[in-house]
Chains A and B, each alone.
Chain A
């Protein structure tokens, strides 16, 4: 089927009346996503197009039964917005916001670990199950519904590039998830790999990483132990200089750790088909997933 979201997902949008919130709410609805509520404190009782706006997440959930929140709240208030969604019992929280302070996110992450909620992001494009539900800012039309490939990535437009190449090769996607470019995030590679492994419709996985941290190395160990579906990998930042933050807050080589070379080696050791030339990723996927 898909992982985390499908056509039954009922979405509420936090920050729905802002410029980004309005624009992307409309885009998601056009794609077919069931957006049932919006939240903007102080604007409760209003409507954004046909969507009712509430003052609090708890109220919106109680009134509409929303089980997923899409967050466009600006960085100074975003951690609070995520925590509000957690406290309201929202199952899936997708935080698009870029620029949340690390210390805020560390608290959010520790808090959410003791709750039933799942967080995707922040600083991410969101999640899409093609043809069913788009909870994020990715362009819908580049995706191809029906699977059989799952995509998980730390990046935004790089993911679009990858998905586009898959679609051009005639390879559809079950679900595509951007887990975000921040150093501290919610759902990680391993969570997604485990979910794709358990999803009967997903026959293969594309994993897109980048420099910084050790998430790809940990994911590689997990793949060795727990994943038997074919995995194609790509790592951005082979030419990145050490000690510099490459756009994403989490994309930084510190000393000898977090290098692209180290990640590629770990991935290859785990049997992942690592693509070094982004221009040929689609071709490689066509070859690897031929029998998928």
Chain B
């Protein structure tokens, strides 16, 4: 789960991680009030959306007077912000963070992520702040310090020293960096984060270390023990169909194509999307109804696929194991009758009781096209949407 920069900064504040003075505003009036309260200019007005690259996309503006605040906040709120992460359709800006402007001497990078291969938390820091870290890793990997922390032992003082020395910090700044690393590691573990990232982490002209930006993602699997974090979820930032699907525990991702598809199991669902593409069509979604899907889940899946106006045909690919094909076929027929399907549906079933399942589909009188195997299924659905 993602949260906004202003929410991440609130968490930073709770953990005594230094951030610029500032507050979130939902309209221009509020933005002006906050700016006036900051006690000086310039101030920075930053669009709050769940996507990176806001600066480059024109979502971060400097203002030198209240009039300018009014002007830039007015531009940003309600703007459709396009960044390299939003896709060409962009994202509507509904709120802005208004912060004090700072004299910046140096920009650094800092992040915490779980490392899959080693099962450790990796601290990544770099002197090349403010840039795309993947680019830094590719072009100048020597500029990145990586420190691995064993979750069984936790963060130790030498980890912090490696980070601070690696960034070339000394004296008071080194102490501040140690403090910041310690606090952010605590936050990372306390809240089951999947990412804590500060880019840039800045050293100001008066030698203060400060998180100019803040990004936190959380492990969805751990949200059950962080009710306070779930409250921070912003449904406006998510695809409405995906929000709807999540209510029924369906794994649904909306895509650009026109072949809707419904599959049991994530791996098979991905492979089904691939085979649709291989047949010359484009998948409209990813939908995993789960290895043990029942008729009700199939019905909800149908409804969500059909709410996508781009869908011109549907491919159902079910490998019936524990879930028998005849039970599934009955579910499909029931769901098809109930939801009133208006596009052709190709059904490919395999596994336990497949003959009985195919008979049920054939005798249903519905516009269901039976496919013998995967190849056949993809070809049939690609033909329909051509």
Complex CA gap A178/B270 in Å reads 17
Complex CA gap A240/B283 in Å reads 10
Are A139 and B352 closer than 8 Å at their CB atoms?
A: yes
Nearest A residue (CB) for B188: A103
Are A246 and B351 closer than 8 Å at their CB atoms?
A: no
Q: Which residues of chain B from 255 to 274 have a CB within 8 Å of any chain A CB?
A: 255, 263-271, 273-274
Are A276 and B278 closer than 8 Å at their CB atoms?
A: yes
Are A102 and B192 closer than 8 Å at their CB atoms?
A: yes
Q: Chain A interface: which of B62-70, B117-125, B162-170, B298-306?
A: B117-125
Complex CA gap A154/B276 in Å reads 21
B356 in the interface (beta carbon within 8 A):
no
Are B221 and A155 closer than 8 Å at their CB atoms?
A: no
Are A103 and B268 closer than 8 Å at their CB atoms?
A: no
Taken residue by residue from 149 to 173, chain A's Cβ proximity to chain B (1 for < 8 Å, 0 otherwise) reads as: 0000111111111001000000000
Q: Which residues of chain B from 185 to 203 have a CB within 8 Å of any chain A CB?
A: 189, 192, 194
Are A237 and B274 closer than 8 Å at their CB atoms?
A: yes
A18 in the interface (beta carbon within 8 A):
no
Complex CA gap A138/B352 in Å reads 12
Could you say which of B151, B267, B319 contacts A210, with CB atoms under 8 Å apart?
Answer: B267
Are A239 and B274 closer than 8 Å at their CB atoms?
A: yes
Complex CA gap A110/B286 in Å reads 33
Report B156 CB to chain A, min CB distance, Å.
Answer: 15
Nearest A residue (CB) for B352: A139
Could you say which of B192, B274, B319, B378 contacts A160, with CB atoms under 8 Å apart?
Answer: B319
Q: A158-B268, A241-B255, A243-B85 are in contact. Are A111 and B152 (CB under 8 A)?
A: yes
Are A103 and B222 closer than 8 Å at their CB atoms?
A: yes
Q: A161-B319, A211-B270 are in contact. Are A102 and B114 (CB under 8 A)?
A: yes
Nearest B residue (CB) for A188: B117
Are B114 and A159 closer than 8 Å at their CB atoms?
A: no
Complex CA gap A92/B322 in Å reads 24
Taken residue by residue from 253 to 288, chain A's Cβ proximity to chain B (1 for < 8 Å, 0 otherwise) reads as: 001100010000000000000001111100000000
Residues in chain B within 8 A of chain A (CB atoms): 85, 114, 116-117, 119-121, 134, 138, 150-152, 189, 192, 194, 219-222, 224-225, 251, 253, 255, 263-271, 273-278, 283, 286, 288, 291, 319-322, 350-352, 373-376, 378
14 extra A-B contacts, CB within 8 A, seeds A142-B321, A246-B286: A105-B119, A106-B119, A139-B321, A153-B267, A164-B319, A214-B116, A215-B116, A236-B267, A236-B268, A236-B270, A236-B274, A240-B286, A277-B275, A279-B373
26 interchain pairs, CB-CB under 8 A: A27-B322, A76-B224, A106-B120, A106-B151, A110-B119, A155-B265, A157-B267, A161-B268, A161-B319, A208-B267, A211-B270, A213-B117, A215-B117, A237-B273, A240-B270, A241-B253, A246-B253, A246-B286, A249-B221, A251-B266, A251-B267, A276-B278, A278-B271, A279-B275, A279-B375, A279-B378
A-B pairs, 7 with minimum CB distance: A155-B267, A247-B266, A157-B265, A139-B321, A158-B267, A279-B375, A101-B222
Residues in chain A within 8 A of chain B (CB atoms): 23, 27, 75-76, 99-107, 109-111, 125, 137-139, 141-142, 153-161, 164, 181, 183-184, 208, 210-211, 213-215, 218, 234, 236-241, 243-251, 255-256, 260, 276-280
